[in-house]
Amino acid sequence: MRIKGFQGTSLLDFPGRVSSLVFTGSCNLSCGFCHNPGLVLDPDQYPDYPLDDLLDELKQRRSFIDGVVLSGGEPTLATGLAGFLEQVKGLGLQVKLDSNGLLPQVLSSLLGRKLIDYLAIDFKTSPSRYNELHTQPVDTAALLASCRLAIENAPEYEFRTTCVPGLVTEKELHEMGRVIKGARRWVLQQFLPREQLLGDAPQEAYPVAKFAQLRQVAASYVEQVEGRGW
**Judged by CB under 6 A, does residue 29 bind ligand SF4?**
yes
Interface with ligand SF4 (CB under 6 A), residue from 34, 65, 93, 150 = 34
Piece of the chain touching ligand SF4 by CB under 6 A; list 3-11, 23-31, 88-96, 198-206: 23-31
- Residues 168, 61: Cα–Cα separation, whole Å: 38
211 CB-side CA count, 13 A = 17
Residues in contact with ligand SF4, counted by CB under 6 A, come to a total of 11
Q: Which is nearer to ligand SF4, 73 or 177 (CB)?
A: 73
Instruction: List, in sequence order, every residue forming a beta bridge with 112; answer none if it has no partner.
Output: none
Interface with ligand SF4 (CB under 6 A), residue from 19, 36, 126, 146 = 36
Piece of the chain touching ligand SF4 by CB under 6 A; list 51-59, 60-68, 69-77, 217-225: 69-77
Interface with ligand SF4 (CB under 6 A), residue from 25, 43, 67, 73 = 73
Residue of 123, 104, 94 lying closest to 188 (CA atoms): 123
**Judged by CB under 6 A, does residue 31 bind ligand SF4?**
yes
Piece of the chain touching ligand SF4 by CB under 6 A; list 43-51, 70-78, 108-116, 151-159: 70-78
Cα torsion 174, 177, 182, 184: sign: negative
**Binding track over 89-108 against ligand SF4, x by CB under 6 A:** -----------x--------
Torsion angle, alpha carbons of 74, 78, 81, 87, to 10: -100
138 CB-side CA count, 13 A = 24
- Residues 68, 62: Cα–Cα separation, whole Å: 10
Instruction: List, in sequence order, every residue forming a beta bridge with 163; answer none if it has no partner.
Output: 190
Piece of the chain touching ligand SF4 by CB under 6 A; list 13-21, 29-37, 172-180, 188-196: 29-37
Sheet holding 5-14, edge to edge: 5-14, 17-23, 67-71, 94-99, 118-122, 156-163, 185-190, 224-228
Interface with ligand SF4 (CB under 6 A), residue from 74, 117, 158, 172 = 74
The residues of the shown chain that bind ligand SF4, judged by CB under 6 A, are 27, 29-31, 34, 36, 40, 72-74, 100
